[in-house]
């Protein structure tokens, strides 16, 4: 009787061990493709300097109002002085976007 119970318990433990190892083995192969897919999405969202330059060249500042120029500048982290003329605001904005040393607010 006792020997039958020990054999049944041993068989059960072996079965559980095989199932756990199988689950780990299968899980290792299903996780890797998910990680690779998520990395593909990251590389697709990167912005290059060429993309930034294209964006800057497609905006026509001449058609914008002074308020829109100021709003656009703020969205890029640039503070413009609305007291200046529109032409001076555009010059300040373009200089700031190119990274030139500019004097805003003067």
pLDDT (tens digit, 0 to 9) for every residue of the chain, 106 residues total?
666 666 677 888 888 888 888 877 777 666 655 556 665 655 555 666 666 666 666 788 899 999 999 999 998 889 999 999 999 999 998 888 887 755 554 4
Q: Please report the pLDDT score of residue 11 as a whole number.
A: 81
Closest by CA position to 94, among listed 56, 52, 50 = 56
Question: Do 72 and 59 belong together in one domain?
Answer: yes
Residue 73 to residue 57: CA distance in whole angstroms:
15
Would residue 106 count as lying in a domain? no
Residue 8 to residue 29: CA distance in whole angstroms:
32
Cβ distance 79 to 69 under 8 Å? no
Question: Do 42 and 64 belong together in one domain?
Answer: no
pTM here?
0.44
Would residue 7 count as lying in a domain? yes
Total domains, the chain: 2
């Amino acid at each position: 009787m006792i020997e039958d119970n020990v054999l049944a318990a041993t068989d059960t433990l072996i079965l559980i061990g095989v199932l756990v190892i199988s689950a780990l083995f299968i899980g290792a192969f299903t996780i890797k493709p998910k990680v690779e897919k998520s990395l593909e999405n990251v590389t697709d969202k990167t912005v290059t300097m060429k993309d930034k330059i294209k964006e800057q060249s497609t905006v026509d500042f001449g058609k914008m109002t002074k308020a829109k120029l100021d709003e656009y500048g703020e969205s890029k982290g640039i503070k413009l002085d609305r007291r200046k003329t529109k032409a001076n605001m555009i010059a300040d904005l373009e200089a700031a976007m190119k990274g030139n040393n500019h004097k805003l607010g003067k």
